[in-house]
Structure 1
Amino acid sequence: MPVAVKGSITIEGQAISITNPDKPLWPEQGITKRVYLEKLAALSPYLLRYLKDRLLTVIRYPHGVSGKSFYQKNAPEPLPPYIRTVMHEGINYITLDSLPGLLWLGNMAALEFHPSLHYAGSSLPCEWMIDLDPSRKVEPRIMEATAIVGEVLKSLGLASVPKTSGATGVQVIVPIRSGNTFDQLRKVGHFVGRYVTEKHPELFTLERLKKQRGDKIYFDYLQHYGGKTLAAPYTPRARPLATVSTPLTWDEVASNVSPEDYHLLNIEERLRSVGDLIAKLPPQPVEQVIAGLR
């Protein structure tokens, strides 16, 4: 990425103002805004794939991860010419499709990127997702639970890709063809959730209220629905270690990899090594499973 000149950089023919490049954003990791923008540029071929044409919510941390934050759904004014927006239910969402737009948001200390689960103008899901949400701050069983869910999906004829949330949880992603509805996939999710909670009642729960879950991992099939968002694959997270939401191999899950193992300081090396694991997996035949549940 070009070095900032007089407070701005030019990317893809667009001038982007850069303010306070030496401001610490992740102080524990020594990541300043300048470093963050360099890392965003490196992540952009992967991250933008899961932001393009979706309704974007970002979480901004003007004073870094140790400061206050706020969710931003409405596009801030004034908007540069390379930012596209879509009005949806009274909110003027950004639909991010370019590196200049990503860096513009990064300069405003948008540290997390949470896209909608459907494309702008559509009510159909882009993929199927199961969210495994620990009830404890540290959950050593999260990869064990992920492996169980992966095996159940495999038994149904569905390959999947697990990804760390970048925080404490894991999402299991199943690529799908367009045409399936949220309601159809929610029924499959409920079926899988009931199965794993009955087989492993000490590990999983379908209880929505966190205070009633005890130490169990919440099998959240309800998060996959219209109007909800997902921590995008390859989004940074506003955690002290600058973790990144990272797709994993099933061998890594079996080796009990930690969600903290992948972060802004090593994610480039990983992506050079394994590429985008989600993009490599073709759409799965969820239609057969849906038909079998009727």
Structure 2
Amino acid sequence: MQDRHVRIEGREIKISNPDKRLFPDWTKWEWILHLTRLAPYLLPYARGRYLTTIRYPDGVEGKSFYQKNIPSHAPEWVQSVRSGDVRYILLQDAPTLIWLGNLASLEFHVSFDRAERPGYPTELVFDIDPSVKDFQAVMETALLTREALSSMDLDGVVKTSGATGLQIYVPIQPRFSFEQTRRISEFLARYLRDRHPSLITLERKVKNRGHRVYFDYLQHWKGKSLITAYSPRARREATVSVPLEWVELKPGLTPQDFTLETVHQRLEEKGDLFAPISRPNHRYDLSDILRFLR
């Protein structure tokens, strides 16, 4: 297990234990090569946001821990920012991503607001999760959500969580507080729950949900985070959180279709479907909706 080195954007990074298996089918060295290819797609949305990683020093089948504070041994070129009691890493560039990959950071979760304007999210985000293994119900809920958003003159991008659910992002002008966006999110959540009570629940406790899909509008809040687009997940299959075209939400689709093995060909064929969020040409003004809710 002799150490290897990579040079990226002028930074030389040591890759320790390159032959260690982080996933059943992927060594750390192979993991690093995948991250290098994903960097141009993962970084645009992650930049400037408070980062939380989940580290698996012995791979996905070993123990894990959350990393929020920048470690004392971080290279001087790794950027960070303080928020409250935490000095967060800022995932600004490919060298930082590869350095984190060498630390066996297998998941990358980012905040809904940016460090340059804390407290003002850049999107409305809805996290839709099944209570049982039923991705069809998750897709149905996502399509109903889009229909409701359309009635409010809003639209967004849907992506897999990389686990079992879907997440919907609606780009908004970053001048509305979390308290204001919560009013809209809660209104939409309760509307959908009341219209489709046998399909959708707002119940947080899994044991009380039955077979209903959990519509999570509470995760979208200050200090919280969500898996970023194109981040892998710490699962044996090495699934990836992947943006989708809405027309792809049809029977037969599963989050397990999108893995480190398949994601690169998908990116070549479809390009960056998350660009309307990470590099939006248009952000919605929520003023009229907030006036209506008042």
Query: Which bin holds the TM-score, normalised by the shorter protein?
Result: over 0.9
Moved over 4 A (4+): none
Aligned length, in residue pairs: 289
What amino acid is the match of 1:67? G
- Which residue is equivalent to 2:68? 73
Could you tell me the percent identity over the aligned residues?
45
Q: Deviations over 1:48-68 (max 9, x none)?
A: 112111111000011111111
Q: The residue matched to 2:136 in structure 1 has which SS?
A: coil
Whole-angstrom CA distance in 1 between matches of 2:37 and 2:199: 37
RMSD of the TM alignment (CA)?
1.7
The answer to whether the 8 Å contact 2:243/2:274 transfers is yes
What amino acid is the match of 1:18? I
Q: Say yes or no: does 1:278 pair with 2:270.
A: no
The answer to whether the 8 Å contact 2:160/2:166 transfers is yes
- Which residue is equivalent to 2:37? 42
Which of residues 237, 253, 276 is equivalent to 1:257?
Answer: 253
What amino acid is the match of 1:173? Y
Q: Say yes or no: does 1:175 pair with 2:163.
A: no
What amino acid is the match of 2:292? G
Q: Deviations over 1:103-152 (max 9, x none)?
A: 00001110000111111141110211011122124543111111111111
Q: Shift of the alpha carbon at 1:6? A: 5.9
Which of residues 87, 111, 115 is equivalent to 1:116?
Answer: 111
Whole-angstrom CA distance in 2 between matches of 1:56 and 1:92: 10
Q: Shift of the alpha carbon at 1:291? A: 2.4
Whole-angstrom CA distance in 1 between matches of 2:130 and 2:46: 26
What amino acid is the match of 1:260? Q
- Which residue is equivalent to 1:220? 216
What amino acid is the match of 2:248? E
Summarize the alignment of residues 128-143 of structure 1 with structure 2, pairs less than 5 Å apart. 128-143=124-139
Whole-angstrom CA distance in 2 between matches of 1:200 and 1:6: 55
Q: The residue matched to 1:284 in structure 2 has which SS?
A: coil
Q: Say yes or no: does 1:239 pair with 2:235.
A: yes
The answer to whether the 8 Å contact 2:124/2:185 transfers is no
Q: Shift of the alpha carbon at 1:289? A: 2.1
Any gaps of 5 or more consecutive residues in structure 1? none
Residues 1:277 and 1:292: Cα distance change in structure 2 (over 3 Å):
farther
What amino acid is the match of 2:179? D
Q: Shift of the alpha carbon at 1:7? A: 2.2
Any gaps of 5 or more consecutive residues in structure 2? none
Greater shift in the superposed pair: 250-259 or 102-111: 250-259
Greater shift in the superposed pair: 85-94 or 132-141: 132-141
Q: Deviations over 1:134-186 (max 9, x none)?
A: 21245431111111111111121111111110001111110111201211111
The answer to whether the 8 Å contact 1:158/1:286 transfers is no
Q: Deviations over 1:59-79 (max 9, x none)?
A: 001111111111111111211
The answer to whether the 8 Å contact 1:160/1:172 transfers is yes
Residues 1:6 and 1:192: Cα distance change in structure 2 (over 3 Å):
closer
- Which residue is equivalent to 2:95? 100
- Which residue is equivalent to 2:14? 17
Q: The residue matched to 2:244 in structure 1 has which SS?
A: coil
Q: Deviations over 1:73-114 (max 9, x none)?
A: 111121112201111111111011011110000011100001
Q: Deviations over 1:192-237 (max 9, x none)?
A: 1111111111110111222211121111111111011011111100
TM-score when normalising by structure 1: 0.94
The answer to whether the 8 Å contact 1:162/1:170 transfers is yes
The answer to whether the 8 Å contact 2:239/2:260 transfers is yes
Q: Say yes or no: does 1:290 pair with 2:286.
A: no
Greater shift in the superposed pair: 167-176 or 74-83: 74-83
Q: Shift of the alpha carbon at 1:39? A: 0.9
What amino acid is the match of 1:171? Q
TM-score when normalising by structure 2: 0.94
Whole-angstrom CA distance in 1 between matches of 2:120 and 2:170: 14
Q: Say yes or no: does 1:63 pair with 2:58.
A: yes
